[in-house]
Chains A and B, each alone.
Chain A
Amino acid sequence: MARAASFGFLVATVAAAQTVDFNREIRPIFSDRCYTCHGPAQSTRRSPLRFDTEEGAKQKLGNNFAIVPGEPANSELIRRITAPSNSSMRMPPASAGPALNEKEVDLLRRWIAQGAGWEKHWSFIPVKPVSAPPVREVAWVRTPIDSFILARLEKDRLSHAPEASKETLLRRVSFDLTGIPPTPAEVDAFVKDGSPNPYEAVVDRLLASPRFGERMAIRWLDAARYADTNGYQTDAERYMWRWRDWVIGAFNSNMPYDRFTVEQLAGDLLPNPTLDQKIATGFNRNHRGNGEGGIVPEEYAVEYVVDRVDTTSTVFLGLTAGCARCHDHKYDPIAQKEYYQLYAFFNNLPERGNAHKYGNSPPLIAAPTPSQQRELQALEARVTAAKARFDALRPDADAGLRAWEKEVPPGTQWFSSRALVGAWTQESAPGDVASFGFLDKFTIAARVNPAGPDGAIVTRAKDEPEGAGYSVVLAGSKVQANFVLRWLDDAVRVETRDAIPLNQWTHIAVTYDGSRYASGVHIYVNGADQALKVHVDYMNQDFRSKEPLRIAAGLGTRFIGKVDGVRIYGVSLPAEEIGALAVTESLDAISAIPQATRSVAQQNKLRRAWLDQFAPEHVQSAWKRSLDVSEERERFAAALPTVMVMEELAAPRDAFILQRGSYERPGAKVNRNVPAALPPLPAGAERNRLTFARWLVDPANPLTARVAVNRFWQMYFGTGIVKTAEDFGSQGEWPSHPELLDWLAGEFVRSGWDVKALQKTIVMSATYRQASKASAEAAERDPENRLLSHAARFRLPAEMVRDQALLASGLLAERLGGPSVKPYQPAGLWKELSGGEDYKQDSGENLYRRSLYTFWKRAAPPPMMANFDAAGREACMVRENRTNTPLQALDLMNDVTFVEASRRIAERMMTEGGASAAQRVAFGFRLVMSRGLNGAEAALFANAFRYNLERFQTDAAAAARLVAQGESVRNAQLDVPELAAYTTVASLMLNLDEAVTRQ
């Protein structure tokens, strides 16, 4: 119905005398009105009759045929849809909706009379070469696009619009290609440019600008549901900005769209993948991750895979595959089984359903930026050099060690004190030390001589059973390590498989690597790494405790026996060092043992002790230097940004049809495959994500190129050729210009998926360059402007509304990429939702970065962005939403972002705009609107300036308050009432409809 409302109106008027087009006119009726019970979904089909296939619709049923080609009067379908609504014959039954209207009945009747021709759904038919249709007004055509548009306009007797003014065109194309309006100087240059192709030169300049990548990335981030938080419950921060920067870079380097697709879906499976290709796979890790305590992990493990399948289907295939999660798709040829065959491509990574509540969840990789990569390389070189320097001393050093061994004074003891937090005995009361949390690395070592099988050895935890904190205890004579926030559901507990003996001294050590997993815990007994039993492996939140460190006590227990030699380190010591630590003999005692019979650990201890304390100065310093540099490298590497990525398990995980889509109800096992209605996977290829990704961009795939060009198209015309950019299935809207869509898709593939070339083709067209004023006739006959008799006129996306204010004011801090930033936001918005931490606004440059870098918290999106219809980033979104609300008005008038920008524009008006008020206003207007003022506007602004100036001169205090808004420093040279008056005028400019509209 919505379909018929406007654009369809035109179609209907011209179609009356023509052949009925099955795909355009008949299938939508079947799909919307009949498929629920007579469609692809087997489970809800009420009879063998089905309208999604030709055989199904034309088969004999009982004594009748629903459709008798050429004979509407004998077709049961017509009888049924025209039966009275109270009749049991009536279709669709009253319970399933109203009767078909006259127009629909007439269409069906004529279609049958004309022979009831059938076609595959249009978007599943391969893209065929199309040539541009002939047109009458040949002179208007600049590119084949224009032929398609004009031919349709001529057919419908609508005229195209004249070309837009140069100012309008430059402003439009600058927003469209870079998200940033032109400066007055750029406008001047373009208007005055007398060269043969000034517009093409502008387009080339804009496509080459790094702003192009930022602009294109914005919509891709919506599609890829990119955000800076995990999205469930606590909604804590995650770090995917390296992936975001990869996207910007890919657009800027004009990466072909097929590579762009393959690398994001399966970069990790490419031969010898580069760091960038791995980062690219973050695309399918941008989905939300649930770290709420107490969830059933299996449930969310399924949701993540479902999100990947649904997002991938929407973004690349324009298919609503998600509908087939619980049952066969009701409208499109995707059986439930086929859904899970797709699912099987995406369920095979080492992930858990319970995501980390804080930060990135595995699988993840360190993703250094290019400058960090250089720094890392430099550090590696320093490590190698330091090691080499030490190794060069080695022959001498070894000789020195052998000489020193012979004269170690009796009773000399040594244990490593690098990174030592403290050393204690059983009697110690260490107090508030060794406060470690879940992201820290640490080591706890001690010697124990138990007289009983249970008791605390070292704890920093509540002194009660299962108390929160960390602890090393003896439990049933096994050495046990606990890291607990809340026992059972937020804890890690591991213990040795083997018991340690009673009544004798044993050295034990526990190391933890900050990974939040049991696999990051090692327990050593007498220097030997132990086989462990994992009791609980579900660490979610920080176990850091306010309790003191206790020796031989804690968790409500006391150690029975003796504890000694407690040493705690702020690093996770490697096995070799634990070995040395476990050696209790003094150095002279070791040296007294003949070298051949010493243990490796003993020899190690002796050597390390010598290098640490007794070697000649230059040897000691070379040794320490090599350790220092290695540690520095470790620290640097640990602080590198990470990104969540795709990674393939060696042994594929099974996939099953999930009945009703529920994790609890697995049915038949399925193998990886693509839906049968689409071309098959290449025979013999390994059935993995890489094959799937390559299949997507195979030119034989009827959907991928069409869906991609349509999404680009809607950036320039507000609406896609297929309005339902997310749905190219039978419930999607019929393309306004099907041949144009195919021409664009064909060109795109032929060009080698050249993204910049496609954008250029579109913006070079006469269609794009039209003025956006609707003629009275167009406004009446085609109010949605689907036929493009004039250019599209629509409100700027949220990002551009803010970015243009920053640019005009001179505040915009342009820098590509980096961690997300926190610009102005009213206080309390985070805190009032959670009682937890509030938004910590940045200062300085970070207040003025482009909006695509604004920190995106899913539970509380940036309010200005939300007010201006930005996508929520919870799930994939490929179509923009534009509304017009009073909240937008309040935001633009009163948000400090725009008040400060207005003041800065005012400062520019006063310092750069000339001497007179009229000149200054005109200057400001050009900054904001990229054009000159007309007379009527000038008069209104002049008046506005005058009364504001009068008012602020009378009330200087008010003026001072107004110009004090924002963090940037006010130009103190300027007269305050005057500045305030210009500030108000500038704000007026930023609030005009034209300022927030791309026209």
Chain B
Amino acid sequence: MISRREMLKSAAGTAALHTLLRADEGAAAVPDFKPSAKRVIYLFQSGAPSQIDLFDYKPALEKMRAKDLPDSIRQGQRLTGMTATQTSFPVAPSLFQFAQYGKSGAWVSDLMPHTSRVVDDLCFIRSMNTEQINHDPAITFCQTGFQLAGRPSIGSWLAYGLGSENKELPAFVVMISQGSGNLSDQPLYDRLWGSGFLPSRYQGVKFRAATDPVLFLSNPPGIDGATRRRYLDDLGALNAINQNEYNDPEIAARTSQYEMAFRMQSSVPELTDLSKEPPSTFDLYGPESRRPGTFAANCLLARRLAERGVRFIQLFHRGWDQHTNLPKQIRGQARDTDQASAALVQDLKQRGLLDDTLVVWGGEFGRTVYSQGKLTADDYGRDHHPRCFTIWMTGGGVKRGLIHGETDEFSYNITRDPVDVHDLHATILRTLGLDHTKLTFKFSGRHFRLTDVKGRVVNEVLSA
């Protein structure tokens, strides 16, 4: 099997000009299917949100409060070293109140009042599951389809497969925010948006809430835009002399990269400058959206990136690792994310962008129904739980107002329609018109895929 990209390259018969922002790449790539989405916004909830306290309502748990989780449910499933030696597994029902919302009647807890108002636009998958039980391998698995470092991330696969639709911005942008729930929570790693064995021009570019949203974006103090412009003209002229000398297309390519860098110097600040957004925008996304670097501000930027055709926009919000003190911590996390996530959906919808933008909200695994550490009337913790968790998706060809999959009364095992991480990846690629078995890259003698040797498109959640 030959990757589409390899095929295109050889068909064109040209040595590829290496660029980060090649707008032509997307145009050149012929999709396998008619795409229902042009871009993806992935709101990654790092640390693993508790499905039991947010979306997977289990009223029967109240009767089981503090009783040991039956062995028939646990089925000898492997536990993390954090609770493996625990002598009892007391069932901890959620402290939060659930209600049904919208026409779809989706259950959502009172931690998510804004999300509950947009449920008819969302597709909940309650039957997500993963193979990994610890953060590093699990989040690496979610991002790259493999639990160990070294493979390309979803965004870099897409940048490689589809290229960019924008000549002034990267195809793959990443933004990070710190949750208020758990300040010392799980770290992230650059490899989560790395390109693995794909050429490094496909790696995610981090947009930061700093003076330089992109590293080294600003000219040094004392150099203004006009000076830089003349500098680049000279650079181009000098490189052209060498071009004549060496006949090497890489020289012209380098000059053009400098021109793109120059365009980024204006396009990125224009993008991150929220001063022209009307007050209604900030009302929609919430007051936190005025504070750079928050999840809310990043959601607003995500919409602006989507408007500009950036292919893959990924937010990482840290702080969801509630081993102890869950009720207090998760309130902070929900406050950070609820309004802005719902606002993004509404905002994309009102701008007509939701139809071709896929939005995904979710973490790397779920959390246990039993309490880690002491269960009291108003406190508990939850350990990692790979067997089920809930995510939601919307836009870009996803059925709205749908609830897919089901778990048992303990939110422990999946009882219907399991969806694993490879399936999710296959489905994301499918919405973009890509066959996950055909998007390959040959490395170390193997044609690698994002979905490794697995993955099934979850057609049930797709409208097309």
Interface residues of A (CB under 8 A from B): 1-2, 4-6, 32, 96-98, 231-235, 288, 290, 292-297, 303, 314, 320, 322-323, 331-332, 354, 486, 488-489, 536, 538, 664, 724, 726-727, 729-732, 772-776, 779, 783-784, 793-795, 826-828, 832-836, 858-861, 863, 866-867, 869, 872, 874-875, 881-891, 893-896, 899, 934, 936-937, 940-941, 943-944, 947-948, 951-952, 958-965, 980, 984, 987-988, 991-994, 997, 999
Complex Cα–Cα for A776 and B249 (A): 12
Complex Cα–Cα for A775 and B255 (A): 22
**A233-B135 in contact (CB<8A):** yes
Top 5 A-B pairs, shortest CB-CB distance: A962-B222, A731-B445, A834-B187, A294-B80, A961-B221
**A860-B201 in contact (CB<8A):** no
CB distance from B143 to the nearest CB of A (A): 13
CB distance from B416 to the nearest CB of A (A): 26
Given pairs A893-B220, A960-B222, A984-B231, 18 additional interface contacts (CB within 8 A):
A234-B187, A235-B189, A290-B136, A295-B80, A314-B444, A488-B82, A826-B210, A833-B189, A834-B187, A875-B149, A884-B17, A886-B19, A886-B261, A887-B20, A890-B265, A934-B241, A937-B241, A961-B221
Q: Hey, which chain A residues are within 8 Å of B15, CB to CB?
A: 6, 783-784
**B445-A323 in contact (CB<8A):** yes
**B235-A776 in contact (CB<8A):** no
- The closest CB in chain B to the CB of A234 belongs to B187
Partner of A833, one of B2, B21, B187, B254: B187
Partner of A896, one of B86, B191, B220, B230: B220
Given contacts A835-B178, A894-B220, contact A97 B1 (CB under 8 A): yes
Residue from B9, B10, B21 having most chain A Cβ neighbours under 10 A: B10
CB distance from B451 to the nearest CB of A (A): 16
Residue from B185, B190, B194 having most chain A Cβ neighbours under 10 A: B190
Given contacts A947-B230, A994-B242, contact A795 B261 (CB under 8 A): no
- The closest CB in chain B to the CB of A831 belongs to B178
**B194-A884 in contact (CB<8A):** no
Partner of A835, one of B2, B148, B183: B183
**B136-A885 in contact (CB<8A):** no
**A883-B18 in contact (CB<8A):** yes
Complex Cα–Cα for A925 and B254 (A): 20
Given contacts A231-B149, A884-B253, contact A858 B7 (CB under 8 A): no
Partner of B220, one of A664, A772, A952, A965: A965
**B257-A233 in contact (CB<8A):** no
**A729-B445 in contact (CB<8A):** yes
Q: Hey, which chain B residues are within 8 Å of A2, CB to CB?
A: 2, 6, 9-10, 442
Complex Cα–Cα for A835 and B176 (A): 11
**B208-A832 in contact (CB<8A):** yes
Q: Hey, which chain B residues are within 8 Å of A940, CB to CB?
A: 234, 237-238
Q: Which of B33-41, B65-73, B93-101, B211-219 contacts A (4 or more CB under 8 A)?
A: B211-219
CB distance from A866 to the nearest CB of B (A): 7
Q: Considering the complex, which residues of chain B in the window 63-106 have a beta carbon less than 8 Å from any beta carbon of chain A?
A: 78, 80-83, 85-86
**A488-B238 in contact (CB<8A):** no
Q: Hey, which chain A residues are within 8 Å of B459, CB to CB?
A: none
**A887-B190 in contact (CB<8A):** no
**B231-A887 in contact (CB<8A):** no
**B149-A890 in contact (CB<8A):** no
**B149-A793 in contact (CB<8A):** no
Complex Cα–Cα for A943 and B231 (A): 11
- The closest CB in chain B to the CB of A890 belongs to B216
Complex Cα–Cα for A733 and B458 (A): 37
Q: Hey, which chain A residues are within 8 Å of B187, CB to CB?
A: 233-235, 833-836, 859
> Counting CB contacts under 8 A, is B279 at the interface?
no
Interface residues of B (CB under 8 A from A): 1-2, 6-7, 9-10, 13-15, 17-21, 78, 80-83, 85-86, 133-136, 148-150, 176, 178, 183-191, 194, 199-201, 203, 205, 208, 210, 212, 214-224, 227-228, 230-231, 234-235, 237-239, 241-242, 245-248, 250-251, 253-255, 257-258, 260-261, 264-265, 318, 383-384, 442, 444-446
Complex Cα–Cα for A963 and B206 (A): 29
Residue from B83, B86, B250, B384 having most chain A Cβ neighbours under 10 A: B250
**A887-B222 in contact (CB<8A):** no
Q: Hey, which chain B residues are within 8 Å of A297, CB to CB?
A: 81
Residue from A303, A958, A984 having most chain B Cβ neighbours under 10 A: A984
Question: What are 26 residue pairs bridging A and B, where the CB atoms are less than 8 Å apart in the complex?
Answer: A96-B1, A98-B2, A233-B134, A233-B136, A290-B136, A293-B81, A294-B80, A294-B81, A294-B384, A296-B80, A489-B81, A538-B81, A774-B248, A793-B250, A835-B178, A860-B190, A872-B149, A874-B149, A883-B18, A883-B199, A886-B19, A934-B241, A944-B230, A947-B230, A991-B235, A993-B250
CB distance from B429 to the nearest CB of A (A): 18
Q: Hey, which chain A residues are within 8 Å of B384, CB to CB?
A: 294
Complex Cα–Cα for A96 and B447 (A): 13
CB distance from B365 to the nearest CB of A (A): 12
**A793-B214 in contact (CB<8A):** no
- The closest CB in chain B to the CB of A795 belongs to B250
Complex Cα–Cα for A851 and B268 (A): 30
Given contacts A488-B85, A832-B208, contact A732 B190 (CB under 8 A): no
**B176-A832 in contact (CB<8A):** yes
Partner of A884, one of B215, B228, B238, B250: B250
**A5-B10 in contact (CB<8A):** yes
Q: Hey, which chain B residues are within 8 Å of A536, CB to CB?
A: 85
Given contacts A773-B245, A835-B183, A965-B221, contact A296 B216 (CB under 8 A): no
**B221-A331 in contact (CB<8A):** no
Q: Hey, which chain A residues are within 8 Å of B444, CB to CB?
A: 314, 320, 322-323, 724, 726-727
**A232-B176 in contact (CB<8A):** no
Q: Hey, which chain B residues are within 8 Å of A5, CB to CB?
A: 9-10, 13
Given contacts A538-B81, A772-B246, A866-B200, contact A835 B149 (CB under 8 A): no
Partner of B216, one of A314, A795, A894: A894
CB distance from B203 to the nearest CB of A (A): 8
Complex Cα–Cα for A193 and B260 (A): 44
Complex Cα–Cα for A993 and B194 (A): 26
CB distance from A677 to the nearest CB of B (A): 15
CB distance from A861 to the nearest CB of B (A): 6
Complex Cα–Cα for A997 and B1 (A): 35
Partner of A888, one of B221, B255, B257: B257
Complex Cα–Cα for A630 and B203 (A): 54
**B257-A884 in contact (CB<8A):** yes
Complex Cα–Cα for A542 and B227 (A): 53
Complex Cα–Cα for A884 and B444 (A): 23
- The closest CB in chain B to the CB of A310 belongs to B444
Given contacts A2-B10, A294-B384, contact A866 B190 (CB under 8 A): yes
- The closest CB in chain B to the CB of A960 belongs to B222
**A988-B235 in contact (CB<8A):** yes
Partner of A988, one of B81, B189, B238, B260: B238
Complex Cα–Cα for A331 and B253 (A): 37
Complex Cα–Cα for A885 and B250 (A): 11
Given contacts A320-B444, A944-B231, contact A835 B318 (CB under 8 A): yes
Q: Hey, which chain A residues are within 8 Å of B442, CB to CB?
A: 2, 731
Complex Cα–Cα for A993 and B14 (A): 21
Complex Cα–Cα for A332 and B13 (A): 30
Complex Cα–Cα for A934 and B248 (A): 19
Q: Hey, which chain A residues are within 8 Å of B82, CB to CB?
A: 293-294, 486, 488-489
**B150-A874 in contact (CB<8A):** yes
**B176-A833 in contact (CB<8A):** yes
CB distance from A733 to the nearest CB of B (A): 10
- The closest CB in chain A to the CB of B20 belongs to A885
Complex Cα–Cα for A727 and B99 (A): 57
Complex Cα–Cα for A894 and B268 (A): 15
**A883-B86 in contact (CB<8A):** no
**B227-A984 in contact (CB<8A):** yes
CB distance from B199 to the nearest CB of A (A): 5
- The closest CB in chain A to the CB of B324 belongs to A486
**B178-A999 in contact (CB<8A):** no
Given contacts A5-B9, A872-B149, contact A894 B80 (CB under 8 A): no
